[in-house]
Amino acid sequence: MKGSSAILLIYTGGTIGMVMDPKTGKLKPFSLDNLLKTIPELQKIDFSIHSTSFKNPIDSSNATPELWQELCDIISENYRDYHGFVILHGTDTMAYSASALSFMLSGLNKPVIFTGSQLPIGMVRTDGKENLLAALEIASERDANGNPRVPEVGIYFDSFLFRGNRSHKSSTQNFNAFSSPNFPPLAEAGVDIIYSDRRILPKEDKKFKIYREVEQNILVVTLFPGLSNNLLQNAMNSKNLKGVILRTFGAGNAPTNSEFLSVLEKLVNRGVAVMNVTQCAHGKVDQLKYETGSSLQNVGVIGGADITLEAAITKMMVSLGNFEPEQVFSNLNKSLRGELTE
């Protein structure tokens, strides 16, 4: 069911709109007009599409929190006038931007669907057309009551709609570039688009609002056998440090030597938020399962359950940017937008 939907298409850049620079032979971002010209199918769509483009479209490896803020501002300014939003974005950092927006947009009751492609839209075998057309259809879809069917931030790619903050770019080569390791897809496109309504977040009762501030003074530390405690301590000495994500082994395990634990304990005592995210793609952190995990729990490290690294980073950045320490601690310990399994 569609009703009279209007969708706002927001172009940030990415491979989908890139063209080959004849001088260098490298792909570089091009204009939205050029991109739209290559899709005559858009004329046949039975809802209106308006579009807006970032002034300077980028390769998403250059994305910064300012891009997330600009997206939030565009969505907020146009929130009342559109049924849904489709964001064209490079694949490299799409999972970060989708995760960030899921935490920055509070009380969201409209679809915000990210998509892009592995091959530019001007190329014969492009995956960009199908991705864009299906993302538009999903953003316009309504439930039996006429409300948006997917009132959350998603990534549509190669036949699947994933929750944005559960997604991860897992292939540089395949058309199915994204996966959602710990949460099943929200919809799958075949002849029809089949929605798993019970997996989609329910409509929010809260008023729509943006959490716009983003704290950038956080670090990610990947553990490996032989990581130097001295080096770690030095890296953690910065007074500006507000949060650390520890990428641990297996079910959230880490060395139990006292030097390592004391680095973490000092951080927690200084009020730095420390969160435990596993290096495993599937499964969750359980700090109570092994002694090597419970020692982290004992020094005050927060278990991240089955959250992705992208969601952990952006959740920490947005929480630290907008809330007092106690609320940050409480936010990190629970699911805010379906990003982890409680």
Nearest residue (CB) to ligand ASP, 88 versus 245 = 88
Told to check if 286 binds ligand ASP by CB under 6 A, we report: no
| C-alpha of 203 from chain center | 20
- The closest residue (CB) to ligand ASP is 90
How many residues does the structure list for the chain?
A: 342
Told to check if 4 binds ligand ASP by CB under 6 A, we report: no
Q: What is the dihedral of CA 20, 22, 25, 28, to 10 degrees?
A: -40
Q: Shortest gap between Cβ of 341 and ligand ASP (angstroms)?
A: 28
| C-alpha of 33 from chain center | 26
x/- site string to ligand ASP, residues 75 to 104, per CB under 6 A? ---------------xxx------------
Question: 28 exposed, middle or buried (CB, 10 Å; 0-12, 13-18, 19+)?
Answer: middle
Told to check if 60 binds ligand ASP by CB under 6 A, we report: yes
93 is an active site residue: no
Start-end of H helices in 141-251: 229-235
Q: Shortest gap between Cβ of 45 and ligand ASP (angstroms)?
A: 23
Told to check if 15 binds ligand ASP by CB under 6 A, we report: yes
Among positions 6, 19, 47, 59, the unique one binding ligand ASP when judged by CB under 6 A: 59
Nearest residue (CB) to ligand ASP, 132 versus 272 = 132
Choices 7-15, 121-129, 138-146, 224-232; region in contact with ligand ASP by CB under 6 A: 7-15
- Reference 300, options 341, 250, 262; nearest CA is 262
Told to check if 310 binds ligand ASP by CB under 6 A, we report: no
Told to check if 303 binds ligand ASP by CB under 6 A, we report: no
Helix (H) or strand (E) holding 276: strand 273-278
* Contacts of 261-266 spanning 24+ positions with Cβ under 8 A: 261/295, 261/296, 261/299, 263/229, 263/232, 263/233, 263/236, 264/296, 264/299, 264/300, 264/301, 265/299, 265/300, 266/236
N-term to C-term CA, the chain: 33
Nearest residue (CB) to ligand ASP, 43 versus 61 = 61
The residues binding ligand ASP (CB under 6 A) are: 13-15, 59-61, 90-92, 116, 118
Residues with catalytic annotation? 15
